[in-house]
Structure 1
């Protein structure tokens, strides 16, 4: 989940409610973890800047999920998720 500043989910100052990346709810039954990412309020809306920022946030989100999994002894690593995230980041790079 990405929290974008503005009229959709504004805080009192218009900034996202969630700064940075953090893990949230985990469903053991469904093996699902919610990772939230607050998109920077001052992000320039130039395509390459947005792509770079989203790429960084995707990789940081996967790292947060991997840390959560390691800490909770759910998994030692998440290679499939890392590969998926990297393919998305690579696609952003190709489309620049």
Structure 2
């Protein structure tokens, strides 16, 4: 994670992240695949590093938070609900 700023690293560390963090994400991968998503290696790398981290921040005097968790983000919705946001590439000849 050499591309992270010092400020970003401090925020991540406050949430429980360490540079050598590698969480078991097998249940998250199964969940995503069962929902119809292709789980690329880069997604796995991100989840191993950041899945389950909870971040707290202040917004206009209110304390807010969010967690990095596919199940939390997707809930019971299937891939078809998000398909309109997917980008497909077309080879130009």
Whether TM exceeds 0.5 here: the answer is no
* TMscore range, shorter length: under 0.3
Q: TM-score, normalised by structure 1?
A: 0.25
Mark the structure with the bigger radius of gyration: 2
Q: TM-score, normalised by structure 2?
A: 0.26
The structure with the largest strand share of the pair is 1
